[in-house]
Amino acid sequence: MTSLSAIWPSLAFCVLTLVAMGFSWRLQDQSQTPLPNRRLELFRVGAIVGSLGVVITAISFLDPFALIQHPDGSMSVSPWLARSWTIGFLASLVSTLFALFARGKARVVLSTSGLVSGLLTFAAVLQNGV
C-alpha cells in the first residue's frame, strides 16, 4: 500500500476537480440565460458522471486492489483496477463532451475539470507502474 504522504497531492487534485465540477453546476444554475431542458439534463449528466469518475480515480490512488501473482512468479494488475481506470477515462471523456451543452463559464469549468480528471486517471495508471 502506498503511503498517504506520497499520494496526498493526487488526492488534493481529485478534491479540487470535484469542487470545480460542483462549481460548474452552480454556475449553470445561476446563469442569466436558462438552458433548454435537454441541454440542462445532458450537462448535469456530464457533471455527475465526471464526479463519479473522479471519486473512482481517487479510490484507485489508494490501492484497494491487490496485484495478482501468477504461478510463474509474475505479477499483474487486478481486473478491478483496470476497470476503474477504464471508468475514469470514460467518465472524463463524457464529462468533457457533455460540458459542451452548457453556456459560458460553466462550459469552460466543466470541460477543464473533465480534462484534469483524465490526467488524474492517467497519473493513477502510471502510479501503479503500468
pLDDT at 130 (0 to 100): 57
The set of cell numbers assigned to 130 is 503500468
Domain with 103, as residue range(s), is 4-65+75-127
Does 9 reside within a domain? yes
pLDDT at 92 (0 to 100): 95
Q: Tell me the whole-structure pTM to 2 decimals.
A: 0.85
Question: How many residues can be counted in the chain?
Answer: 130
Does 99 reside within a domain? yes
Report CA Rg, the chain.
17
Walk along the chain (130 residues) in steps of 10 and give the mean pLDDT of each run. 71 92 92 87 95 91 73 78 89 95 92 94 79
Does 108 reside within a domain? yes
pLDDT at 64 (0 to 100): 64
Does 95 reside within a domain? yes
Amino acid at 34: P
CA 9 to chain CA mean position, Å: 15
As for how many domains the chain has, the answer is 1
Does 70 reside within a domain? no
pLDDT at 78 (0 to 100): 77
CB 89 within 8 A of CB 115: no
Does 40 reside within a domain? yes
Cα angle, residue 89 at apex, residues 83 and 5 outer, rounded to 5°? 80
Does 26 reside within a domain? yes
